């Protein structure tokens, strides 16, 4: 079997919002790439044994006190280094060139003119559009370097030293606004670092199956299955490796969408043929949630009960030693870019949060993958698109979309309204382009008129957002006709609703879910 990790590119993170994107672009070139913080001990870099290193951008200035600096040892490893934006300035600084403040911050598109097309800029052609975002610039090149590209505002927009195989770019090749960015990164990883394209999902699949087989042997594995992308891919993958030694547990917490429990079970049983244990714990969850209106309390109760139910089922199965779960690469990157606020905004609960006090060995086959790679892997495993392209659904389910008291009746109203929203969004062909689209049942009643009668009934709010990762989001400008159709259908078809409103808030300052 080909070693998918034989050629690796290391991305050192100096705090750029694009760091993850750099690693993803390299992986799209079928070369394995990992991100480490800029100050990672040198020994760890040596052990990783990369074939090339990319220094990310970042918000700092190299000449400021306390500016992030990586171990200069990386330049003695005899591997090529590509510095992007701050990474280029740092390289210049460390090799005793001069970095200064640009007269004007340069932000946005610029045309690049090539001075040397024999290395990273090979095959680009003059006038290609690149994306700039910097306040500092290179004033004097370090010894051994020459200018390989310039723009109207940046006389040194790209530099290189072929002898030592060191390159710097003032612009960002990883963002789509840089038209030939992929070509530049390909030049670096293939031509300059000499990597070959070994990181394919097919080879990752073979590699994972081998690994899981070796680790598990004849023992047993359990996993919590929600029907979402990550847990379905994990369960299918592990089942490919160890077959009937895996039992997947699907807990119906009574907070699922219309027809969801049945749909997921059918898919698992008929298409994916997994060994599934279905637990209907709806009554238990709804009882525990009776009279609870505080969103954090709802979340805590659901998280706690989920673990209880899961543990009870696991005991019944008895012999499992391993727990498989869908931890993804963004959850494990020790990155300096995404230092979120330390205050808990919402306690998130999902099936990934299980094992804190459970006595299992973990199997986390997706630890190295980004979300889009998980989908490709899912495709490789013949998981239907219907699952692979599902919009995210929160662990606490409809409990945080029925605002206030959760009752069977209110859950029913929300389920019916939500089903109409999804049906119409899908009919319009928008489902895949939207991060999430759903209905929320508000805890207020309003006056309406139906026929000649006064009504006093519920309000449904519609929420539809675009997002890259759920961290920030914007509301979708849905066509008026579609909004009209959804509203009409909900008011006509769902008894107990006489008003529909559309949520036009972005995150921040709002959040995606209402609770
Ligand atoms: P917010 O509402 O914080 O949501 O903007 C961001 C994303 O996370 C999802 N979400 C959750 N997912 N357990 C989950 O597994 C939770 O408790 C939870 N709360 C919110 C939400 O649907 C959105 O995609």
Q: Using one digit for the tens of pLDDT, what is the confidence trace for 27-77?
A: 999 999 999 999 999 999 999 999 999 999 999 999 999 999 999 999 999
Residues that are catalytic: 85, 172, 174
Ligand 1 nearest-atom number relative to CA 507: 5
Whole-number Å distance, alpha carbon 392 to ligand 1 midpoint, is 8
Whole-number Å distance, alpha carbon 491 to ligand 1 midpoint, is 27
282: its two tokens? 């709806």
Ligand 1 nearest-atom number relative to CA 400: 19
Q: Is the beta carbon of 513 within 6 A of some atom in ligand 1?
A: yes
**Which residues make Cβ contacts (< 8 Å) with residue 294, sequence separation at least 6?**
none
pLDDT at 338: 53
pLDDT at 4: 87
Best mutation site among 348, 354, 503 for ligand 1 pocket (most ligand atoms within 8 Å of CB): 348
Q: Is the beta carbon of 228 within 6 A of some atom in ligand 1?
A: no
What is the average pLDDT value for the chain, to the nearest integer?
A: 93
pLDDT at 354: 58
Q: Is the beta carbon of 198 within 6 A of some atom in ligand 1?
A: no
- Does pLDDT of 141 surpass 90? yes
pLDDT at 341: 42
Whole-number Å distance, alpha carbon 433 to ligand 1 midpoint, is 18
Band (pLDDT 50/70/90 cuts) for residue 103 is: confident
- What average pLDDT does the segment 120-145 reach? 95
pLDDT at 337: 64
CB atoms within 10 A of CB 47: 8
- Does pLDDT of 394 surpass 90? yes
Q: Is the beta carbon of 401 within 6 A of some atom in ligand 1?
A: no
Q: Using one digit for the tens of pLDDT, what is the confidence trace for 405-432?
A: 999 999 999 999 999 999 999 999 999 9
What's the rounded Cα separation, in Å, for the pair 189 and 127? 23
Domains (ranges, CATH) in the chain? 8-192 (3.40.50.880), 201-388 (3.40.50.620), 407-502 (3.30.300.10)
What's the rounded Cα separation, in Å, for the pair 383 and 376? 10
Band (pLDDT 50/70/90 cuts) for residue 342 is: very low
Q: Is the beta carbon of 346 within 6 A of some atom in ligand 1?
A: yes
Band (pLDDT 50/70/90 cuts) for residue 352 is: very low
Best mutation site among 512, 514, 515 for ligand 1 pocket (most ligand atoms within 8 Å of CB): 512
pLDDT at 335: 66
List, as one string, the DSSP characters of 53-116.
EEE---S--TTSTT-----GGGGGS-S-EEEETHHHHHHHHHTT-EEEEEEEEEEEEEEEEES-
Among 231-235, 241-245, 308-312, name the one with the lowest average pLDDT: 308-312
Q: Using one digit for the tens of pLDDT, what is the confidence trace for 164-193?
A: 999 999 999 999 999 999 999 999 999 999
Whole-number Å distance, alpha carbon 456 to ligand 1 midpoint, is 31
Among 98-107, 152-161, 424-433, name the one with the lowest average pLDDT: 98-107
Q: Using one digit for the tens of pLDDT, what is the confidence trace for 476-514?
A: 999 999 999 999 999 999 999 999 999 999 998 999 999
The size of the chain, in residues, is 515
Q: Is the beta carbon of 165 within 6 A of some atom in ligand 1?
A: no
314: its two tokens? 């696991």
What's the rounded Cα separation, in Å, for the pair 278 and 276? 6
Cα–Cα–Cα angle for 168, 169, 171, nearest 5°? 160
Q: Which of 168, 176, 138, 222 is nearest to 57 (CA)?
A: 168
Q: Using one digit for the tens of pLDDT, what is the confidence trace for 268-323?
A: 999 999 999 999 999 999 999 999 999 999 999 999 999 999 999 999 988 899 99
What is the reported pTM? 0.87
pLDDT at 346: 65
- Does pLDDT of 347 surpass 70? no
Band (pLDDT 50/70/90 cuts) for residue 198 is: very high
Q: Is the beta carbon of 353 within 6 A of some atom in ligand 1?
A: no
Band (pLDDT 50/70/90 cuts) for residue 214 is: very high
- Does pLDDT of 381 surpass 50? yes
Q: Is the beta carbon of 507 within 6 A of some atom in ligand 1?
A: yes
CB atoms within 10 A of CB 287: 10
DSSP assignment, residue 176? T
Whole-number Å distance, alpha carbon 345 to ligand 1 midpoint, is 11
351: its two tokens? 């099936």
DSSP β-ladder status, 246-252 and 8-13: unpaired
Band (pLDDT 50/70/90 cuts) for residue 446 is: very high
Conformational region of residue 94, where left means phi above 0, alpha means psi within -120 to 50, and beta covers everything else: alpha
- What average pLDDT does the segment 234-242 reach? 98
For the chain, helix, strand, coil in percent to 5 are 35, 25, 40
CB atoms within 10 A of CB 209: 16
- Does pLDDT of 396 surpass 90? yes
């Amino acid at each position: 079997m080909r070693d998918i990790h034989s050629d690796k590119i290391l991305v050192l993170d100096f705090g750029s919002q694009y760091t993850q994107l750099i690693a993803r672009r390299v992986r799209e070139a079928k070369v394995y790439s990992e991100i480490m913080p800029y100050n990672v001990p040198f020994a760890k870099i040596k052990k990783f044994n990369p074939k090339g290193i990319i220094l990310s951008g970042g918000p700092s200035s190299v000449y400021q006190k306390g500016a992030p600096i990586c171990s200069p040892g990386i330049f003695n490893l005899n591997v090529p280094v590509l510095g992007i934006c701050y990474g280029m300035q740092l390289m210049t600084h460390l090799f005793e060139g001069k970095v200064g403040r640009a007269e004007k911050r340069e932000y946005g598109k610029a045309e690049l003119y090539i001075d040397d097309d024999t290395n990273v800029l090979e095959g680009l052609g003059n006038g290609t559009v690149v994306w700039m975002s910097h306040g500092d610039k290179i004033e004097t090149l370090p010894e051994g370097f020459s200018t390989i590209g310039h723009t109207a505002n940046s006389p040194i927009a790209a530099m290189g030293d072929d002898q030592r195989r060191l390159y710097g770019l003032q612009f960002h090749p990883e963002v789509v606004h840089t038209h030939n960015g992929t070509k530049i990164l390909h030049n670096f990883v293939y031509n300059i670092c000499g990597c070959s394209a070994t990181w394919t999902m097919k080879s990752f699949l073979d590699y994972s199956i081998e690994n899981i087989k070796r680790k598990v042997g004849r023992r047993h594995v359990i996993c919590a299955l929600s029907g979402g992308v990550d847990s379905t891919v994990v369960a299918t993958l592990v089942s490919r490796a160890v077959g009937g030694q895996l039992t997947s547990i699907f807990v119906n917490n009574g907070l699922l969408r219309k027809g969801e429990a049945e749909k997921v079970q059918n898919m698992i049983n008929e298409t994916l043929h997994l060994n599934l244990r279905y637990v209907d714990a709806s009554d238990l969850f709804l009882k525990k949630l009776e009279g609870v209106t505080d969103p954090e309390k709802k979340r805590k109760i659901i998280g706690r009960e989920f673990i209880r139910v899961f543990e009870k089922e696991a005991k019944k199965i008895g012999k499992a030693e391993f727990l498989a779960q869908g931890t993804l690469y963004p959850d494990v990157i020790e990155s300096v870019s995404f230092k979120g606020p330390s205050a808990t905004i919402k306690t998130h609960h999902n099936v990934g949060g299980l094992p804190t006090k459970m006595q299992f060995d973990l199997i986390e086959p997706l630890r190295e993958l980004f979300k889009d790679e998980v989908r490709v892997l899912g495709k490789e495993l013949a998981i239907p698109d219907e699952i692979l392209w599902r919009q995210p659904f929160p662990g606490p389910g409809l409990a945080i979309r029925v605002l206030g008291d959760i009752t069977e009746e209110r859950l029913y109203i929300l389920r019916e309204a939500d089903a109409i929203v999804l049906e119409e969004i899908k009919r319009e062909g928008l489902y895949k382009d939207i991060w999430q689209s759903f209905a929320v049942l508000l805890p207020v009643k309003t006056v309406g008129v139906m026929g000649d009668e006064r009504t006093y009934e519920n309000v449904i709010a519609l929420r539809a957002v675009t997002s890259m990762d759920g961290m920030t989001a914007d509301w979708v400008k849905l066509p008026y006709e579609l909004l009209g159709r959804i509203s009409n259908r909900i008011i006509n078809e769902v008894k107990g609703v006489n008003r529909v409103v559309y949520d036009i808030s972005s995150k921040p300052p709002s959040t995606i879910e209402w609770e």
